Each structure stands twice: as C-alpha cells, then as structure tokens.
Amino acid sequence: MVVIPSKENKNIEFKEKLSSVIHLKQEKKQHLAAQMKYRLEIGKGTAIYVIGVDDNGKAKGLTELEFEESLNVLKVIASENNAEIVKVEKFSDNGNLLGKVVISKVATNGFKSHIVVVISGHVNHGKSTLIGTLMTGKADTDLKNWLFLDRLPHEIERNLSADLHYALLGFKDNKPFHFKNPLDKKERSRIVEQSDKLISFVDTPGHEGFLRTAIRGVVGQDIDYGLLVVAADDGVMNITKEHLGLLLAMNLPVIVCVTKIDKVGEKRIDETEAQIEELLKNVGRIPYLIKDENDLNVVIDKLNTIVPIIKTSAVTLEGYDILNKLLSLLPERKRDLNKPFLMFIDKVYNVSGVGTVVSGTIKQGRLKAGNELLLGPDATGKMRKVKASSIEMHYHRLVEADTGFVVGVALRGVNYDEVKRGMILCSPELDPKPVKSFEADVLVLTHPTRITNGYEPVVHLFTIGESAKVELLDKEYLKAGENGKVRFAFKYSSHYLEEGDRFVFREGKTKGIGTVTKILS
C-alpha cells in the first residue's frame, strides 16, 4: 500500500495530473509558477509535489505517459522559479502510477535566494532607521540605528543621507539573522555564508537636492522590489510622489511602510493611510493594509498589482514581525545565468594592497574569480582587457557571483583613475559595441512648457548619467503627459546599452521615462 504524505506540511502540493497542452498555456503556467514560488518559500527552498492524487490526497493513478508528461510540466515550472527537480519517487497503486517529486531552489554560494530591495521616501521619514532596526532586531530607543549603514562623516554631522548605502538581512529557516554589531565586517560575512536567503538593501537619500543619487539607486541597480517609506507624522510629501514614480517607471513591485506610528495618534495614522491609498489608486495600484501575517498570503503572488501597507515603529518594534515575514516570503524573480556576464559600474575604489575595486549589481550572467573581462567604453569608445582577481559581497569572499548580486570586484590591468561610473564590466562573449545615439519611445511626466528639438536633459540609464541632445521624430513638440518617438545623442561619451532598456531623463523640473527602441551608432 502506498503511503501518501500529509498535506499539513505547507510545502506539499497534490496534483492529479499535469498536461503540457493545458498547464503550459500562459495563464495556467503563471498560476502554477506563483503556486510553486509560495511552496518553495514556505519549504525553505524545497517543495514536494505528489502526482496522481486528487486535492484530498485520494489516489487516482496515472499511466506511464501521463506520469512523464506531469513530470515534464513540473520541470518547466521549476525552471521559472530558478529551481530544479532533485528527486523522483515512483510508486505503483493497483497498476496505476503515483509519484513524489522533490523540487529545490538552485543553490549558489551557500545560499538559495537573493533579492535586492531599494528603500525610497522623503528625507527624515526613517528609511535608514528602518533598515538598521531590521538588521539588529532591537528597538531604536536611543535613535541611533540609522548609523549602522557605514555613514560618511558629513552625513553623521548633518543627520541625513547624501549617497547610496548598502545593507543586508539574512534569513535561515524563514527567521532573520540579527546583527550584534552591524558594522562588524566579519559578522556580515558570516551571515552571507550561513543564510539560505539574503536581502540586499539599497538605501537612497530622500533630500530633494540628492534626487539624482536617488534615481541612480533605483535605475542603476538590478532591483527586485521597491520599499517606499512614509512617516506617519508628515504623511505623503512631494518626494514621496517622486520616488514612487521612479519605482513604477522601472516596473517594480512596491511595498509601503508607514513609520513613526509611535509619535502620533490613531487619527493622524488614519489620515496618512488615506493619503497613501489615494496616491496608489491614482497610479493604478491597489492598496492593501496588512493587519496580520495571514494577510500576506493574500498579496504575496499579486505584488505587481497590489501594494501591501505595513504600519511600523522602530521604537516599539510594532509591525516588524510582519515586515520580516513578508521579506522572508518575497519570491525571487527568474534570472538568466546563461547570458554573458554584464555589470554596470556604480562605484570605484582604490584599496590599499588590492588596487582598483569596482562595485555594482550584476545585470546578467555569472562572474567567476579569475575571469578575463572587458572594461569600458573609455573616452575614445574602446574596451580594454582586465581580470577579476577576486569577488566580495558584503565583505564575504565569493568564488562566483550571479545575476542580481551586489558585489565588489578587484581588477587587474587597470588603474583607479581610468575607471568611471557608467562603464561596464563584461564577458568578452558579449562583444559590446559603444553607443553614441539611439531612438526611444518616451513619456513626458512633468514639464513647465514643452520639449522641442535641441532640448538637453540628463539620461539616467543603469549607472549612466549623461547629458543628451534630443531630436523629436514624430511630433513638433512634447508636453507633460504626452508620448513620442525621440532620438537621443549623448553629448560627451559613448556608453553601452541595449534595445528594451528602460531609462529616466530629467532637467530642472522636467522628468520623463523612456524605452530604447533602436541603437543607431
């Protein structure tokens, strides 16, 4: 007699049979992929499918052909989740077949999942404090948790962020690793090594004068999710709207955290919630207030449409259990590791005893220590050969790093002053061609008058921030709210970009978004 596993374990799914004709159609495929994501997260990277049984666990049985077809469907759905079938057990029940299929996330560098979350919002709304409190798990009673993000001296003096800062939170068995000392490099390395899921945070400045840096944080990294912070006492501000617009321009799923709820009464909290809900509805997103962990099951597979709202206090730790649970459940998007390695350079360092080190988020492919790479384009539009002598992620040395990893790469064959933000580091297989001009479909979000030929905004594409001259192709001018086809020509340097890349352009009070449609030269 075949013993069928109990469905009380939430990572177990029963399926009578799966047909490639039915279940690999787009709608069914997306549903199965979302369902498997949930099972994998609940099962700490492992999901178990029992095939040949109905929803109640009653044996129905499969023919040999049906068994193999069901297995093939599961293999396709697993690949959508960066997972694979690791074990298949086949049983016979009165001549019919049943199966137990074990599916696991593809493990890389000792952990199974890595997600990048950008933190956005108005200045002094508690972005850095939120991250510092998540890292320590301790209440911010002395108002110092924001200092745990490797602050620059002038930031400490002025009590505000002026640059991008990076932090991490590790999970083991769906529970967060809390830092005893977030500034201890060895502790960061240990958490990277021991976690089965990592969240890398990109903390952006909220001051209006540093909007260009905030754009670089959203556009320049390979971001998976946006977390928008709104202080309960201030409510929605102009920068709140600016940052939400950036997150949506990059097609990111968004989470909203209402912070500082300990500072105001229920009436003010309700007013802030109402402001957030109105803002989200105006941009076509559905707000959903999370009251307990059960609500997370409603939204976790609908984050492209629904925006969860979580009320938090760093002083009382209210809401942090729910936020931690949500972060632990966030699905990792599918990453194509088979493409040639490509990384846009965000920061450049001259490290004593090491030499030139560049950091950024890997856009595609996989990097291995010792790889021969190309770096550029330089001022003349040429690429040069370099070597990746070592790779680090949050001070943890890696043998290899995958798409989405925020890494530092030590380079041989180039001096510090020869590397600039906006250059790429890539595999020679990519064979990159420097680009000076391109066509794009654009949408003007805001503009005081109208855009005409000769207009020169700054184009923000990945870590590129370069002035470009505009030529309109299908209209005499563009006003706020209008779409158009535009030719951009970089004013000073060549850069690497591809058709389909999304970007932001801005100048003064003008802002717009675009998608590259054609590479010209």
Which CATH number covers residue 92? Answer: 3.30.110.10
The verdict on residue 1 lying in a domain is no
Quick one: tokens of 203?
């903390």
CATH code of residue 442: 2.40.30.10
Same domain as 445, residue 419: no
The verdict on residue 349 lying in a domain is yes
The verdict on residue 127 lying in a domain is yes
Q: What is the pLDDT of residue 155?
A: 43
Which stretches of 287-417 are DSSP H helices? 296-299, 320-329
Mean pLDDT of 144-163: 54
Same domain as 275, residue 201: yes
Pick the range with the lowest mean pLDDT from 50-54, 89-93, 219-223, 381-385: 219-223
Q: What is the pLDDT of residue 107?
A: 52
Highest mean pLDDT among 88-102, 170-184, 259-273: 259-273
Mean pLDDT of 302-309: 95
452-456 — which CB contacts under 8 Å span 24+ positions? 452/476, 452/477, 455/507, 456/491, 456/507
Looking up tokens 């919002």, which residue turns up? 121
Percent with pLDDT over 90 in the chain: 59
Same domain as 445, residue 360: no
Mean pLDDT of 444-460: 91
The verdict on residue 2 lying in a domain is no
Q: Is the pLDDT of residue 219 over 90?
A: no
Which of 141, 187, 154 shows the shortest CA–CA distance to 168? 187
The verdict on residue 193 lying in a domain is yes
Pick the range with the lowest mean pLDDT from 6-10, 338-342, 394-398, 431-435: 6-10
Q: What is the pLDDT of residue 249?
A: 84
Domain end point (choices 305, 329, 353): 329
Average pLDDT, the chain: 88
- pTM here is 0.73
CATH code of residue 142: 3.40.50.300
The verdict on residue 334 lying in a domain is no
Quick: pLDDT tens for 399-426: 888 888 889 999 999 999 999 999 999 9
Q: What is the pLDDT of residue 184?
A: 83
Q: What is the pLDDT of residue 447?
A: 83
Three-state SS for 4-41 is: CCCCCCCCEEEECCCCHHHHCCHHHHHHHHHHHHHHHH
What band does 240 get if pLDDT is binned at 50, 70 and 90?
Answer: very high
Q: What is the pLDDT of residue 399?
A: 82
What band does 169 get if pLDDT is binned at 50, 70 and 90?
Answer: very high
What band does 6 get if pLDDT is binned at 50, 70 and 90?
Answer: low
* Total Cβ atoms within 10 A of residue 87: 11
Domain end point (choices 430, 463, 485): 430
3-state secondary structure of 313: coil
Q: Is the pLDDT of residue 4 over 90?
A: no
Mean pLDDT of 57-64: 87
Q: What is the pLDDT of residue 388?
A: 95
Mean pLDDT of 323-333: 92
The verdict on residue 224 lying in a domain is yes
Task: Indicate the residue type of 306.
Answer: I
Q: Is the pLDDT of residue 159 over 90?
A: no
Quick one: tokens of 287?
């707000």
Q: What is the pLDDT of residue 108?
A: 53
CB 399 within 8 A of CB 440: no
What band does 289 get if pLDDT is binned at 50, 70 and 90?
Answer: very high
pLDDT: which is higher, 209 or 319: 319
Same domain as 311, residue 165: yes
Query: Burial level of 445, CB count in 10 A (0-12/13-18/19+)?
Result: middle
Q: What is the pLDDT of residue 109?
A: 55
Q: Is the pLDDT of residue 475 over 80?
A: yes
Helices 26-42 and 64-80: crossing angle in degrees, nearest 10, is 70
Q: Is the pLDDT of residue 485 over 80?
A: yes
Same domain as 118, residue 87: no
Which of 357, 116, 113, 114 shows the shortest CA–CA distance to 220? 116
Which of 332, 340, 334, 338 shows the shortest CA–CA distance to 498? 340
Q: What is the pLDDT of residue 448?
A: 86
Mean pLDDT of 500-518: 90
Q: What is the pLDDT of residue 470?
A: 96
Please give the Cα distance from 176 to 324 (Å, whole number). 7
Same domain as 152, residue 301: yes
Q: Is the pLDDT of residue 150 over 60?
A: no
Q: What is the pLDDT of residue 210?
A: 64
pLDDT: which is higher, 40 or 307: 307
Query: Residue 70 sits in which domain range?
Result: 12-105
Q: Is the pLDDT of residue 76 over 90?
A: no
Same domain as 308, residue 242: yes
Same domain as 352, residue 317: no
Pairing of strands 254-259, 225-231: parallel
Same domain as 363, residue 294: no
Mean pLDDT of 160-178: 82
Same domain as 238, residue 133: yes
Same domain as 240, residue 207: yes
Quick one: tokens of 368?
């291995």
Q: Is the pLDDT of residue 120 over 90?
A: yes
pLDDT: which is higher, 9 or 281: 281
Please give the Cα distance from 187 to 168 (Å, whole number). 11
The verdict on residue 7 lying in a domain is no
Domain end point (choices 430, 454, 481): 430
Please give the Cα distance from 348 to 417 (Å, whole number). 9
The dihedrals phi and psi of 56, each to the nearest 5 degrees, come to -95, 0
Q: Is the pLDDT of residue 151 over 50?
A: no
Please give the Cα distance from 51 to 15 (Å, whole number). 5
Pick the range with the lowest mean pLDDT from 26-40, 107-121, 262-276, 506-520: 107-121
Same domain as 264, residue 170: yes
Structural domains in the chain (count): 4
